[in-house]
Amino acid sequence: MRFATRLLLMQLATVTAVVAVCALVFGWLGVRQLRAESEAAALNIARTVAEDPDVKSLVAEFSADPGTPDAAELRTGELQQIAADVADRTDALFVVIADDHGIRLAHPTEELLGQVVSTPFAEVLEGNEVVDWEVGTLGESARAKVPVYPETGGTPVGEVSVGFERASVFDDLPALVATIAIAAVGGLALAAVATLLVRRRFERLTLGLQPEELVALVQNQAAVLEGVGDGVVALDPDGVVRVCNEAAERMLGIDAPVGRRFDDLALPDTVRDAVRNGASGVEAVVGDRVLYLDTRPVQRDARALGQVVVVRDRTDVEALAGRLETVRAMTEALRVQRHEFANRLHVASGLIDAERVNEARAFLGDLTERGAVDFGVAGLERVPDAFLTSLLGATAATARERGVTVRISEDTLLLSEVAEAEDVAAVLGNLVGNAVTAAVGGAGPGWVEIALLGDGEELVITVADSGEGIRPPGADPFARVAARETDPSGNDTVHGHGFGLPLSRDLARRRGGDVWLIDPGGEGSGAVFGARLPGALRPADGNPEEKSA
């Protein structure tokens, strides 16, 4: 049986029980009220008859006569007439008048006149009024007994007893029961309709799922959301966050987003616009992370339930891609060096074959002094590390193809070799690549100047360019969106696509360093960036392990 059906039956059973109890209570109260009304009516009639002056005087006369009243005289007496008239007018079962000896002076059954009443009368003769249900010669009845006092006052000289039969007392009981029954049926009908509406609403809210299925869904959701590395954010149709796992909170840098509108969270405009427009495959930079956002609508039975945003961290992937690009550049540099070195060896070999030994010796000496490959980078001799020389030479060759000259600053002072080639290449390559892009967009001959400083095991890098500075002025270059920004002419905006700087800063911070903007530039001067990479250089005295070997 479905849960909604069980709920319906349980509610109907509960309402039925409540209605039944209420009907019994109201029925019992109705019976009590009818009894009370009949007893009150009997008491009022008895009091009225007992206060009648004729009744008082006649009862006092009979009470004063020590003999037994004559039954024939009582049948035609005034008391019998008064009692009969009152009984007819009030529809009472009986109106009985008795003296202080309990002798009936008036009674509906004339054969009982002059006889002692069948119910106790001593309490009434003590001056008390008695209201009760008793069984007499006329059957069970609700009766009231009131003492009759003489005109001059004193002790009671008799009693007046008025009674209503049970049937007449409960004449209105069927109508009362019918009213209660109609109200009970109406209540049950309303309860059934309300329960059906609640059941329908419940099934709409739960999409027809049963509680057991909902429990399983919650368990599976918790297991899946907390077991995957991707971030998951679920929004309802109003844009309110309903589900957000820890991975999404960590990637997006938000705290306790559940129950808040997604547009109110402290997120870049690119992220909010992507979710608002339901875009998929959007890349955005949030803090030091490069994120991939995939927004998908959720529907069930053609009913829109909201959106699910899947957040993937591509920071490591982009960093690896940057390192692979550096490796590619290094490979290309080595290929160029090999080709150039082979060409020069061919020259030396030709000179030797021509027995021009002195010229061959001079050529080899010049080659030894200048190096195997001439990269054409001014000041490159200030960089003693072969890895950096090759990287900067390959970068300079690429920059020359774009009309930009790369040079090494006179402030460069580097006495140690690079120990962490991948991180250094990634950070330096990104900074130089962005600077080359900025220089291409600047006026006049473009140039990029690089300064390398060694401080123990720490490498400090500064990169300046001849571009137009950070655009727009005042913008944060580390918070750019991942999508390529273009001007109306289709040219790339200043300082790259938005990945390199956040990735470089992330790599540096992982080592305990940083990447920062030294000078935003502008008005004819380019931007200057700085980087600090602790542990990127070998100690000046060399590697102890290599020495021991």
pLDDT at position 529 is 94
Helices (H), 206-314: 211-227, 246-252, 269-276
DSSP 3-state of 411: coil
Q: Say how far apart CA 82 and CA 90 lie, in whole Å.
A: 12
Q: What is the 3-state secondary structure (H, E, C) of 454-520?
A: EECCEEEEEEEECCCCCCCCCCCHHHCCCCCCECCCCCECCCCCCCHHHHHHHHHHHCCCEEEEEEC
At 24, which amino acid appears? L
Return the percentage of the chain with pLDDT > 90, whole number: 7
- Tally helices (H) and strands (E) across the chain: 16, 15
Give me the percent of the chain exceeding a pLDDT of 70: 80
The amino acid occupying position 333 is A
> Which region holds residue 239: left if phi is over 0, alpha if psi is between -120 and 50, else beta?
left
First to last CA, the chain: 80
Residue 172: predicted pLDDT: 63
Bond before 472 cis per omega within 30 degrees: yes
Average confidence (pLDDT) over 380-399? 84
Give the whole-angstrom CA distance, residue 136 versus residue 118: 6
Whole-angstrom CA distances from 62 to 45, 49, 58, 329 are 22, 17, 6, 142
- According to the model, what pLDDT value does residue 444 have? 75
Q: Mean per-residue pLDDT for 195-217?
A: 74
Angle of helix 3-50 relative to helix 78-90, nearest 10 degrees, comes to 160
Q: How many whole angstroms separate alpha carbon 530 and alpha carbon 431?
A: 9
Contact, 436 vs 476, CB < 8 A? no
What pLDDT score was predicted for residue 452?
94
Query: Residue 406's pLDDT is what?
Result: 92
Task: Report residue 531's pLDDT band, with 50, 70 and 90 as the boundaries.
Answer: very high
Instruction: Quote the DSSP letter at residue 281.
Output: E
Judged against a pLDDT cut of 50, whether residue 492 lies above it is answered with no
Q: What is the mean pLDDT of residues 268-275?
A: 81
What per-residue confidence (pLDDT) applies to 545?
Answer: 44
pLDDT of residue 114: 83
Identity of residue 547: K
Strands 404-408 and 446-455, by their bridges, are parallel
* 429-485 pLDDT per residue, tens: 889 888 998 888 887 788 999 999 998 899 999 999 998 888 777 777 776 543 333
Cβ contact 159:145 at 8 Å: yes
Is the pLDDT at 181 greater than 90? The verdict is: no
Q: Dmax of the chain from CA atoms? A: 185
Give residue 226's pLDDT: 64
Q: For the chain, give the mean pLDDT.
A: 79
**Burial environment of residue 79 by CB neighbours within 10 A (0 to 12, 13 to 18, 19 or more):** buried
| Average pLDDT of span 215-222 | 67
Average pLDDT for 134-157: 79
pLDDT score recorded for residue 463: 94
Confidence band (pLDDT; 50, 70, 90) for 540? low
State whether the Cα torsion 123-125-127-130 is positive or negative: positive
Has residue 390 got a pLDDT over 50? yes
Structure tokens belonging to residue 179: 């009213």
Pairing status of strand 404-408 against strand 104-106: unpaired
Quick one: 309 exposed, middle or buried, by C-beta within 10 A (0-12, 13-18, 19+)? buried
**What are the pLDDT digits (tens) for 284-343?**
777 667 787 888 888 777 778 888 888 887 766 666 666 676 667 667 666 766 666 677
Tell me the pLDDT tens digit for each residue of 345-376. Answer: 777 788 788 878 888 888 777 766 655 556 67
Contacts of 353 (CB under 8 A, 6+ apart): none
- Residues 219 and 216: their CA atoms lie apart, in Å, by 5
Backbone angles phi, psi at 387, to 5 degrees: -65, -50
Residue 253 has pLDDT above 70, yes or no: yes
Residue 408 or 41, more confident: 408
pLDDT of residue 80: 85
Is 69's pLDDT higher than 90? no
Q: Name every residue whose Cβ is closer than 8 Å to that of residue 400 and which is 6 or more positions away in sequence.
A: 376, 406
Is the predicted pLDDT of residue 63 greater than 90, yes or no?
no
Better-predicted residue by pLDDT, 260 or 166: 260
Integer Cα distance of 177 and 160 in angstroms: 34
pLDDT band at 497 (very low <50, low <70, confident <90, very high): very low
* pTM greater than the 0.85 cutoff: no
List the one residue out of 279, 323, 249 whose CA is nearest residue 482: 279
**pLDDT of res. 465:** 92
Q: Which residue do the tokens 């070998």 mark?
A: 538
Residue 205 clears pLDDT 80, i.e. is over it: no
